[in-house]
Structure 1
Amino acid sequence: MGLLNSVSFQRLQGGLDAATKRQSVLANNVANADTPNFKRSDVNFESYLQQQENGLKSTLNAKVTDSRHFQFGTGTIVPTATVSTDETTSMNNNDNNVDMDREQALSAENQLRYNSYVAQLNSQITMMRTVIEGR
C-alpha cells in the first residue's frame, strides 16, 4: 500500500476533481447566460460523499490482504462527480435559467471548497513528511 493511496487522499483527490469540474460547468453556465433555451448545469459530488459516509458509519469494513479472503462490508470507493442539468426551471423570457448572481455565489463557494481541499492535502503531506524525515 502506497502512502498516497489512503481513503482520505482518494477522497481529497475526488473533491479536487469535482471542484475543477464544477468550475468548468459554472463558467459554461455564465458563458451561456444569454443563450436562448440554455439550461444551467451543476456538479454533484459532496452529496454522494455524504451518503456514502452515512452508510459507512454503521457497517464493518474488512481489510483484504489476500484474494482468498472473504470480502464483507462496504468498500472505500470514492464517488465520482456527475453533471446534472436543471431542465425544470426558467429565469428569463427566452427559457434560459441562468441567474448570474447565483452562479457567482456558487463560484465563490467552489473556490473556498477547492482551497480547503488543497489545505487539507498539504496538511496530510506535511504530517507524512515530518514522520519520514523524523523532525
Structure 2
Amino acid sequence: MDVAQLRHRVISHNLANVNTPGYRRLDVEFEGELARQLARSSDGDIQSVQPQVVAEEGLQERADGNNVDVDREMGQLNKNATLFQTYSQLLATHFSSMRRAMEGP
C-alpha cells in the first residue's frame, strides 16, 4: 500500500508538470525488484526491497522536451487507485479474520 501511495504522488507530480518545458516523466520501480528478490531468496527477505523513483526514458517528447502524456497518466492513476482499493480490501479482510480468531467461537 505504501508503494501505491508513492506511485499516486509521482503520477500526480507528472500531471502537475504536464506543461513544464523539459520535464521528464517519473515512475516508481518496485514490482520487478520484488519479483527478482522473491525468486532469488528462499527465505523471502523482501524487507530490503524499496521502491525507487526514476525518470522514465524512451518516451516520445513534445517540441518543448516534455515527455508526459496526460492520457497515459490518467490511465496509470486509475489503475493505481484500483490496486490501492484492492490492497485495502485484502488488508481489511485479513484484520477481520484475525479479530474473529482472537474472539473465538
Does the CA-based 8 Å contact 2:60-2:67 persist in structure 1?
yes
Q: What's the TM-score once normalised by structure 1's chain length?
A: 0.71
1:98 aligns with 2:68: yes
Query: Residue 77 of structure 2: which of 75, 92, 107 is its match?
Result: 107
List alignment gaps of at least 5 residues for structure 1.
1-15, 62-73
Q: Residue 38 of structure 2 contacts residue 45 of structure 2 at CA under 8 Å; is this kept in 1?
A: no
Q: Partner amino acid for 1:117?
A: Y
Identity of aligned residues (%): 30
The count of residues paired between Structure 1 and Structure 2 equals: 105
Matched with 2:50 is 80
Residue 21 of structure 2 aligns to which amino acid in structure 1? Answer: P
Distance 1:28-1:76 versus aligned 2 partners, 3 A rule: closer
Matched, 1:22 2:20: no
Of 26, 35, 57, the residue aligned with 1:50 is: 35
Runs of 4+ with >4 A deviation: none
Instruction: Compute the displacement of 1:76 (Å).
Output: 4.3
**Could you tell me the TM-score, scaled by structure 2's length?**
0.89
Match of 2:20 in 1: 35
Computing the radius of gyration from Cα coordinates, the structure with the larger value is 1
